[in-house]
Structure 1
């Protein structure tokens, strides 16, 4: 079932850097990633159904960071639809920051559940975007660590149960699930994964366009 966006609806995007997209440097506050692509395409398709689009993503944030600012940044906005993408920092942080620690899947799921519960109680429509990791190669710096194939294997092993937690929460709350990890895995079988993300985490322009297209299929 898709979500109906009625004239005057408010949609909130929130999460980590993938959603943030340097939003504070953008004129409309939506950044330069998938949220403005969604807003632009919606406006083109449905000029008779204006929607207010908001973005409160912050780079580097984990579920616990979202919890700390959830009331002010999300709940107080009383959006009709809230779209959440978070999780890759919960999976990879322990390998890229000296003060980081592993976030167990159960802790991640419990924190995420606490984010969703008040929204569901208020009747807010929910879109949950799977965190994802593309199978790119090569080595790069992330924070205080060097990320290579071995580190990415650790990330993948830690991320998989968190992806499953997001899927289970979507079932629990009747949320729409954007299966982004599965989508990018399938796209990476057709062309080089670097087409969609240079580092496996942050989408390229094509990756953001793919996310936007998949998101728009969840609404009408």
Structure 2
């Protein structure tokens, strides 16, 4: 699809989407990939003011935290494109708080949320995969949980014909030429460069999609 100035783009997820946005200001986009996408789309030579962009990421959220706010934070905005980026906290909490998120339950919850977008809106779905760039030895074991969770995200996205932004491929590929900390200081939260790479991957997949 070619994003139009009349479109409403809604992004929802965890801290990677939140990116420090001012939650007292509904128009705040944070300082991450959502803001980068908005700037790029608003700065195109053929663009007017650019599409309406809404950021509803909340730091720390797991997939289950999206469910109770789905109506007010997604459906009621009547978006044209809904982008979901979730999953890393469902893994992280297993290792720092022993809070489990079984992959089958995670997938079922995500599938239900994507189903609601299809049933209750006319929006095109976009799913951004979770990623990890280990910067500490103990983070390597996270892949035991994250790899099957990423596969679950891919299955849910494909079941709903969502466009896929493979952050799990883009950022590790970039880490082949750079230190992981240059892309994500703690292995999870992107640097400005990391956010730009996610934004570019989103634009390449979504704005160029038929």
Fold match (TM-score > 0.5): yes
How far is the alpha carbon of 1:7 from its aligned partner? Answer: 2.9
Aligned residue for 1:199, secondary structure, equals coil
What whole-Å deviation, never above 9, does each CA across 1:37-94 have from its counterpart, x for those lacking one? Answer: 1100111114237200000100000000000111111111110000110100001102
Ranges in structure 1 where 5+ consecutive residues have no aligned partner: 138-148
Give, in whole Å, the separation in 2 of the partners of 1:20 and 1:55.
7
CA 1:26–1:101: 2 relative to 1, 3 Å: closer
Q: Is the 8 A contact 2:183 2:193 kept in 1?
A: yes
TM-score, scaled relative to structure 1:
0.88
DSSP 3-state at the match of 1:106: helix
C-alpha separation between the residues in 2 aligned to 1:136 and 1:95?
15
Q: CA deviation at 1:153?
A: 2.5
Is residue 216 from structure 1 mapped to residue 203 from structure 2 by the alignment?
yes
**Corresponding position of 2:79:** 79
- Residues 116-172 of structure 1, C-alpha deviation per residue, up to 9 Å, x if partnerless? 0011223310110000101323xxxxxxxxxxx22x133211011111111111211
**2:25 is aligned with 1:29:** no
1:58 aligns with 2:58: yes
Q: Secondary structure at the match of 1:4?
A: coil
Q: Which residue of 2 aligns with 1:120?
A: 118
**Residue 39 of structure 2 aligns with which residue?**
40
**Aligned residue among 104, 110, 113 for 2:108:** 110
Note if contact 2:134-2:140 (Cα within 8 Å) is conserved in structure 1.
Answer: no
CA contact (8 A) 1:83 1:127 kept: yes
The answer for the alignment partner of 1:4 in structure 2 is 2
Q: Aligned residue for 2:187?
A: 200
For these two proteins, the number of residue pairs brought into alignment is 204
Q: Which runs of 4+ in 1 moved over 6 A?
A: none
Q: For the residues of structure 1 that align with 2:23 and 2:72, how far apart are their CA atoms?
A: 21
Counterpart Cα distance in 2 of 1:157 and 1:63: 19
Q: Answer whether contact 1:91 1:155 (CA < 8 A) is retained.
A: yes
Partners of 2:94 and 2:31 in 1: how far apart?
Answer: 28
RMSD over aligned Cα, in angstroms? Answer: 1.6
Give the distance between the partners of 2:93 and 2:39, measured in 1 at CA: 33
